[in-house]
Amino acid sequence: MTKPNIILFMVDQLTSFVLNAYGGTTCKTPNIDALAARGTVFENAYCPYPLCAPSRFGMMAGRLPSRIGAYDNGAEFTASTPTFAHYLRANGYYTCISGKMHFVGPDQYHGFEERLTTEIYPADMSWTPDADFRDYNKDEERAYTFGVSTIDTVRDAGPVARSMQIDYDEDVIHHAVRELYTRARSDDTRPFMMTVSLTHPHDPYVTTQEYWDRHPEDTIDAPQVPHIPVEQRDAHSQSLYYHYGQDKCALSEQDYRNARRGYYGMISYVDDLFGRLMQALDESGYADNTVVLFASDHGDMIGERGMWFKKTLFNPAIQVPLIIAHPGHAPGRVAAPASLLDIFPTLLDIGGIRGEAIKTPLDGRSLMPALRSEALIGPVFAEHIDGGTSAPRVCVRDGDKKLVISRAYPPQLYDLAADPLEQVNLAGQGDADEARLTELAEQTWPLDTLLDDVIASQVARKLIDNALSTGREEIWDFTPRPLTQNTNYVRRGDAFPEVEQRGYLPYNTKRTSS
């Protein structure tokens, strides 16, 4: 049997509950809906960290971010950390990425044989948070810091003719589509693993008039959990309120409606880009032998509870879409909790890499048994460590119970079967599962020493970043190589009509890998 091709389609900051496949009723996403109809929908999938870089690093490494030093958006993803791209490449796959993975550090490949675009965010350590975040005082004057979303962007919501994120994602899809057609016309018969990663629907909540108009104002739903006054919120949510500057910028109901409208418009834009890629996959002849995974790095509160963005462990920020469409398996739905950390072992399982061939300790497990309707058993874990919290906060979900603990904040325990919107904190009320989940969390994280490790890392990275920005700078940002050996165009020695015919790609030619 030939190894299947693999496409991992990543988006940024898409919470799962707004999608039709997850019970949403507002977003127009026909292409994602079609994938869900032919794939397996993991109804309760979680990111390992509600922030871009740590979540993505953890997913690529199959490890909790804190176990590989991915404490924040300025943490280096070390070249010595094995990724799923390394494993697949070493086992015969052509590995390629188009788009964002938020790599920080001089290694901008991490096992990918080819990169088609640059990153949208800096590859240096300049987004390292100040190490004094644990001493945060809400009454002090605060300046916005690099890499931190601000509440001002909620008020920016509305239609725009163009944005930085649109420029980037258009480039991502253009190069990904082109790469599919190029491989279909090449002599390289290796199976491919292509990661296509967008920056939408990350805030700010702006989109073009076309997508703004797809969701008329009278169709925009209100938050499921209404605004909670800041003084009535849990202690960490109060800290986050000031971290994002919500005290500096009053939001009206119209601001909420506009931001959610812009968010839904961006999701429809994502859907159209995904549809373009799926069309190219079909026209290039690969559709029947390609596994497609759709996921997001984390979610967005989008006004739920009066909260925005991420850096919280409430479900809208950490529960993400995860859909796997495998041509060899029937569609289905899985209610058991899953994690982005499961993607690493799942991709290796799809590629036939199992057992002793895997030398890396992993914090996830393959999801392939779930595609065969086998039970998916075990807890999932998430963590939040960087700015916006006084100490690391960690989360365990096992079955319907979800626990959040920290050395700096009171515990939170929710029964998601009875309380899916997490409005009743059961911690300290004698729930039989609290002690068990607490012990599991304490065994998973060194909470007594983790904060000191984070602070030491941030102090060191700040020193390094300051030094490397003095004098001649060595830029780590990836620059795509020019097409010096491109065979798609006419070059010296080429003759008509052969050179033109070489570029033809017939429809409906099914392609398999060696």
Catalytic residue list: 52, 102
The three-state DSSP-derived secondary structure of 292-346 is EEEEECCCCCCCHHHCCCCCCCCHHHHEECEEEECCCCCCEEECCCEEHHHHHHH
Question: Taking a C-beta distance cutoff of 8 angstroms, is the pair 170, 120 a contact?
Answer: no
Distance separating alpha carbons of residues 12 and 222, to the nearest angstrom: 22
Distance separating alpha carbons of residues 245 and 247, to the nearest angstrom: 5
Cis omega before residue 50 (within 30°)? no
Distance separating alpha carbons of residues 167 and 170, to the nearest angstrom: 5
Cα 477–Cα 481–Cα 483 angle in degrees, nearest 5: 160
Tell me which amino acid residue 77 is: F
Distance separating alpha carbons of residues 166 and 268, to the nearest angstrom: 13
Strand ranges (DSSP E) for 66-176?
94-99, 114-115, 158-159
Distance separating alpha carbons of residues 227 and 221, to the nearest angstrom: 14
Strand ranges (DSSP E) for 177-266?
192-197, 206-207
Tell me which amino acid residue 362 is: L
DSSP H or E stretch at residue 413: strand 412-415
Q: Is 382 exposed, middle or buried (0-12, 13-18, 19+ CB in 10 A)?
A: buried
Question: Taking a C-beta distance cutoff of 8 angstroms, is the pair 298, 370 a contact?
Answer: no
